[in-house]
Amino acid sequence: MDLSRRAIVAAGVAGLSGLGAAPIAWAADQPFFARTGLPIGLQLYTLADQAQADLGGTLKAVAAIGFKSIELAGYAGRTPAQLRAAMDAVGLSTPSAHVQVQARGGESSLDGDLSRLADEAHVLGVRMIVMPIFYTPERFDLKPKAGEAFGQVLGRVGGAMTADDWKFNADFLNAKGAALKALGLKLAYHNHNAEFSPLAAQAGGKPGARNGYEILLANTDPAAVSFEMDAGWVAAAGQDPFALLKAHPGRFVAMHVKDIKASTKPNFVFVQDPTEVGSGKIDWPRLLPAAHAAGVRDFFVEQEPPFAHSRLESVGISFDYLSKLRA
């Protein structure tokens, strides 16, 4: 709580004490997720290989840790009906799903049949579709160079994208967001750190947006497009998640609760030193209430490799920290 809220609470307690009232367990003194009534979710990407191999066992373990919701990143080789049955069996819901941007592998995509995608989302109980990465212009070669991981390929491509490329992405989001809204779904965009790569001066020497993320925020329709902040990737880019929330109230509706070590050097090429939530540099007691005040209602734990523990142990550590966090 800030000082003004503390003063209000103190005044209320004093007034009630004067009336002989019994002590009250104020909601603000409860852990953040308990007092907001929001579930702690998990982005299933963190356990992708396990879910692919043993979906039922993985979801059972996730529910046993205490998670109440998951965010999908693909269908783990199952049909939407099979996924829904597996989630229902252990009491998990999936309000949100990352969907590939460009079609591959037979799964639905944002540049494909949106009616099919909407039907699948409704089977799953999904209410928000998330675009997990920017649309890659066709002129770029996505073949890795020697010693280059695929994330670094995307970072290299993102750094080479122009203002027009980012405006194309904004237009793409607007069109897909409007179409999905008509089908009863919301659309959000999820960031990495390539979006924050500095742009060169605009044509004619006129100042423009500093990076692609600013273009996405400025050129998308708030009625059709929201944003899912990946706090770990924002921090890995050397950006301030608090400043983003403050500058764009109401635009962020979901958050990836991802932590990074202080050893992470600011970059725009998909590099970070990951760790469990609460073990890194992000000020979660401050950030979670700020995100909630700005409109975020879905929080999903996510962690990038490499892991110091087994993946299930790591998400359990993060859950334990968040379930007790007073903020």
Residue ranges and CATH numbers for the domains of the chain are: 1-29 (no CATH), 31-324 (3.20.20.150)
Q: Which residue has the tokens 């809220």?
A: 5
- In DSSP terms, 252 is beta-bridged to 227
Q: State the pLDDT at residue 201.
A: 56
Decide: residue 198, CB within 10 A, 0-12 exposed, 13-18 middle, 19+ buried: exposed
Distances (CA, A) of 60 to 44, 109, 115: 13, 28, 31
C-alpha span between 110 and 97 (Å, rounded): 12
Q: Are 42 and 300 in contact (CB under 8 A)?
A: yes
The per-residue pLDDT for 147 is 87
What pTM was computed for the model?
0.90
**pLDDT at residue 104, as a whole number:** 80
Which position has the token pair 């932590």? Answer: 259
Q: Going by C-beta distance under 8 Å and a sequence separation of 6 or more, which residues neighbour residue 295?
A: 249, 250, 251, 252, 253
Q: CB 264: neighbour CB atoms within 10 A?
A: 21
Straight-line distance from the first to the last Cα atom of the chain, in angstroms, rounded to the nearest whole number: 7
pLDDT at 106: 82
> Smallest Cα–Cα separation from 135: which of 115, 112, 119, 107?
112
pLDDT tens, N- to C-terminus, the chain (327 residues)? 333 333 333 333 333 333 333 333 445 589 999 999 999 999 999 999 999 999 999 999 999 999 999 999 999 999 999 999 999 999 999 999 999 999 887 899 999 999 999 999 999 999 999 999 999 988 998 899 998 888 889 999 999 999 999 999 999 999 999 999 999 999 999 999 999 999 965 555 455 679 999 999 999 999 999 999 999 999 999 999 999 999 999 999 999 999 999 999 999 999 999 999 999 999 999 999 999 999 999 999 999 999 999 999 999 999 999 999 999
Query: How large is the greatest C-alpha to C-alpha distance in the chain, in angstroms?
Result: 75
Distances (CA, A) of 86 to 56, 129, 312: 6, 20, 18
If one counts every other C-beta atom within 10 angstroms of the C-beta of residue 38, the result is 17
Token pair belonging to 115: 């009616």
CB-CB contact of 80 with 116 (8 Å): no
CA distance 98 to 48: 13
Which tokens in the block code for residue 197? Answer: 């790569």
Using the Cα atoms of residue 58, residue 61, residue 63 and residue 69 in order, give the sign of their dihedral. Answer: negative
